[in-house]
Chain A
Amino acid sequence: MTLFSPKTAVVEREGWDGEAKGLAHLVDGQLDTRHGAILYLEEVCVSFDGFKALNHLNLDIGVGELRCIIGPNGAGKTTMMDVITGKTRPDSGAVFFGQTIDLTRYREAEIAQLGIGRKFQKPTVFEAMTVFENLQLALAGPRSVWASLRARLTGEQRDRIEALLLRVRLQEQRHRVAGLLSHGQKQWLEIGMLLAQDPRLLLLDEPVAGMTDAETEKTAELLLSLKGHHSLMVVEHDMAFVEAIAERVTVLAEGSVLAEGSLAQVQADERVIEVYLGR
């Protein structure tokens, strides 16, 4: 244990209760959303070998908001999520969680502990484990090696997992190995794992890709039920799905915001029509 970096060791020992308060001495401050926004991106630029994947991107997400992000392939949607979750460092610009937490200063695991959950574009679950074990692993709680060696599942945790299984409609599959689930079920399991972390902000990259219509509809219901309790940012191509869930839509193109407003508004926007049809 002595080899571990003191900074993160503090996070691990403090345990994690789903609120930012345990990290108060570590981060700039607690999650401060007094100004009504939970996430700010300001003038964010990312380039890969000279290619500007994000080009002076400005965006903010309100507390409890469900925001949809649309845009053609290569617009930079996934890259934006990489920047928020610490996978990619921006070349310039600011990324703030609440008023005070500068996300560019943290690593992936720390950002997840701060309360940002992420679903990947390609569904990613732990295939060798059962559905139940996947959720158990994601459950909010201490993340240290030591804790994992002593961990016992409490009754309370078991109840939480049962509730999550119900929510993502996987009660019947609880003891199945996750690798054997259908594509749509894996997507749901991954969403369930995000919820198990009890994050303040959820980032969902194409959550209904590869789902049947019925599954898509159920997913829309699920996301709508989360609105208000969590803030959500959903990247999606499926317009019917976006129409079902979105109140506010942001259109990304060539690494920056092209338009923002209701779905009807952005669909009527000349420039939006151009980027979608012009390709």
Chain B
Amino acid sequence: MQSELMSQPYSMRLWAWLGPQLGPLLLAALLLLGVALPLAHALLPADHPWFISAYTLTLAGKILCYAVVALALDLVWGYTGLLSLGHGLFFALGGYGMGMYLMRQGDAELPAFMTFLDWQTLPWFWWGSEHFLWALVLIVMVPALVAGIFGWLAFRSRIKGVYFSIITQALTFAAMLLFFRNETGFGGNNGFTDFKTLLGFGIAEPATRAVLFLLSLALLVLAWLGARWLVNSPFGRILTAVRDAESRLMFCGYSPLYFKLTIWVLSAVLCALAGALYVPQVGIINPSEMSPANSIEMVIWVALGGRGTLIGPMLGAGLVNGAKSWFTVAFPEYWLFFLGFVFIAATLFLPHGVVGWWRRLWRKSA
């Protein structure tokens, strides 16, 4: 066996070694980027050939946040069989939580948009948002509560399949309309922007950007490891049981409700954390983050990468958003056509996504 392997061409041997290592490879790539990008941005002079621009670093940080969202969505869709078309809502809620804190960092008593509306006092739900810790509580608790109440009602009434997907879509759409209104108190269609400082650090400074990028990377790696532990635990097996044979599970004496609710809320919180890190990096949050199209795009990341695997969604988020940033510069008007095409092609030709395709290739050759 060994000698047979040695007599094969080098590329074959490389393939035999790399084939099953998709996870470690991705982790290594992430960590390498994690060291190189922020250092090259923060330490190198701007005219150095290896200098990384703020644009590139922000793009990479954004994609890391999206990868967390893809992972979170995969936990509910790929593992538990609950297709959410409204995960953009939780992402946006986390972003708005962080945005509220950032909007309170100026000298003025009220955020600028409230002054424009002629408001005299801060609405009650803004109280305390100038404190970072309270903002963190909001970032976690508000999406958890929204997801918890929504999930409780939906799962208790045993809403499943397409019906579930449609009401998640309706939920994010309704929230978007609500946030579009100026009277709601979140800056209407402009949302929040023009942030200055975060915990006293200038938001646009290279070091701040580098740290935000690193935090996004840390969140992704932790979420990945946590998700791995979770899906390999007995709890994770019960999630796949919900997906594959829910009634069998009930007649085994389990209440699917609690398992669905737990993973649903967890997934929402993960999205919210990603949203909270996303906002200071891109410098803006507005209701368009809640648009149905955004949530659908998230589903495409997972489908393209391979749902029901952990690496797949992260890869999918990277591939789609990498392509998107290129398209929106080169041919912006064709992006949505391309995305639709990718989705159809993935559904038809890569039913298990890029990861499934890779694994099949490897198994065939092995």
Query: A-side interface residues toward B, CB under 8 Å?
Result: 3-4, 8, 12, 16, 85, 87, 107-109, 112-113, 117-118, 120, 124-129, 133, 136-138, 143-145, 148-149, 151, 190, 193, 197
Contact B250 A109 (CB under 8 A): yes
With A129-B237, A149-B235 already in contact, the answer to whether A120 and B248 are too (CB < 8 A) is: yes
Q: Give B265's nearest chain A residue, CB to CB.
A: A3
Taking CB atoms and an 8 Å cut-off, the chain B residues in 132-167 that contact chain A are 148, 152
Identify which of B18-26, B173-181, B254-262, B357-365 touches chain A.
B254-262
Tell me, in angstroms, the Cα distance from A127 to B258 when the chains sit together.
22
Chain A hits for B240, CB < 8 A = 126, 128-129
Q: How far is the CA of A145 from the CA of B248 in the complex (A)?
A: 17
Question: Which residues of chain A have C-beta atoms less than 8 A from B248's C-beta?
Answer: 120, 124-126, 190, 193
| A22 CA / B252 CA spacing, docked (Å) | 17
A137 partner, pick from B241, B247, B262, beta carbons under 8 A? B241
- Chain A nearest CB, measured from B316 CB (Å): 21
The total of interchain contacts (Cβ-Cβ below 8 angstroms) comes to 83
Asked whether A109 lies within 8 Å of B254 as measured between CB atoms, the reply is: yes
CA distance A85 to B249 in the complex (A): 13
A117 shortest CB reach to chain B, Å: 7
B152 CB contacts on chain A under 8 angstroms: 3
Determine if A4 and B253 form an interchain contact, defined as CB atoms under 8 angstroms apart: no
CB-CB contacts below 8 Å: B233-251 with A: 233-235, 237-238, 240-241, 244-245, 247-251
In the assembled complex, 27 residue pairs joining A and B whose CB atoms fall closer than 8 Å, in A order, are A16-B253, A87-B247, A107-B250, A108-B247, A109-B250, A109-B254, A109-B256, A112-B250, A112-B253, A120-B251, A124-B247, A126-B245, A126-B248, A128-B244, A133-B237, A136-B234, A137-B234, A137-B237, A137-B238, A137-B241, A137-B252, A148-B234, A148-B235, A148-B238, A149-B233, A151-B234, A193-B252
Report whether A124 and B235 are in contact in the complex, using a CB–CB cutoff of 8 Å.
no
Are A125 and B148 within 8 A (Cβ)?
A: no
| Chain B residue with the shortest CB-CB distance to A153 | B234
| Complexed CA–CA distance, A4 and B259 (Å) | 11
Contact pick for A124, options B245, B258, B259, CB 8 Å: B245
CB distance from A150 to the nearest CB of B (A): 9
- Whether the Cβ atoms of A144 and B251 lie closer than 8 Å is no
Within the complex, the shortest CB–CB distance from A251 to chain B, in Å, comes to: 26
Which chain A residues lie closer than 8 Å to B148 at the CB level? Answer: 3
Task: Give the chain B neighbours of A113 by CB distance below 8 A.
Answer: 253
B241 pairs with A197, CB closer than 8 A: no
In whole Å, how far is A185's beta carbon from the nearest beta carbon of chain B? 16
Docked complex Cα distance between A151 and B234 (Å)? 7
Roughly how many angstroms separate A149 CA and B244 CA in the complex, as a whole number? Answer: 20
* Chain B residues near A197 (CB-CB < 8 A): 252-253
The chain A residue with its CB closest to the CB of B230 is: A149
A136 vs B236: C-alpha distance when bound (angstroms): 13
Pairs of residues from A and B, 3 with the lowest C-beta to C-beta distance, nearest first: A112-B253, A108-B250, A148-B235
Looking at the assembled complex, report how far the CB atom of A4 sits from the nearest CB atom of chain B, in whole angstroms. Answer: 6
- B127, chain A: closest CB distance, angstroms: 24
Residues of A within 8 A of B251 (CB): 85, 108-109, 112, 117-118, 120
